[in-house]
């Protein structure tokens, strides 16, 4: 089972940029594969679009950035949870851990 966190962000989002200084490192410390999907990168976005649309069919409730934690993003994806919006490093780690914890029970 490959657990991954997929970050959906925009190149012109300041909070997305600020979080990029630590989000990948935190995800990897927690043993997650990290996939960065910028909406402007159409090839990568197309590849993971189904994951985003599974969680947000019309994209109206998503935050910037939105981190979707899922199992097997390359195959039949199972979404475990998400972290929306910008958070300080420690809080981001806590929120990711809580998504992982909810799924270990």
The number of distinct structural domains making up the chain is 1
Q: Which helix (H) or strand (E) holds 81?
A: strand 78-84
Task: End-to-end CA distance of the chain: give it in Å, rounded.
Answer: 16
CA distance 78 to 93: 21
Binning pLDDT at 50, 70 and 90, where does residue 86 land?
A: very high
- Token pair for residue 74? 């390359």
- For residue range 30-55, what is the model confidence (pLDDT) as tens digits? 999 999 999 999 999 999 999 999 99
Domain containing 64 equals 3-102
Answering whether pTM is above 0.85, one says: yes
CATH of the domain at 79: 3.40.30.10
């Amino acid at each position: 089972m490959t657990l991954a966190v997929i970050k959906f962000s925009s190149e012109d989002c300041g909070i997305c940029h600020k979080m990029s200084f630590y989000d990948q490192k935190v995800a990897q410390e927690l043993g997650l594969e990290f996939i960065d999907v910028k909406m402007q990168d159409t090839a990568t976005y197309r590849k993971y679009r189904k994951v985003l649309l599974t969680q947000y069919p019309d994209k109206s409730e998503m935050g910037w950035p939105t981190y979707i934690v899922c199992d097997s993003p390359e195959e039949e994806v199972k979404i475990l949870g998400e972290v929306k919006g910008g958070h300080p490093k420690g809080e981001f780690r806590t929120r990711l851990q809580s998504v992982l914890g909810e799924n270990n029970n």
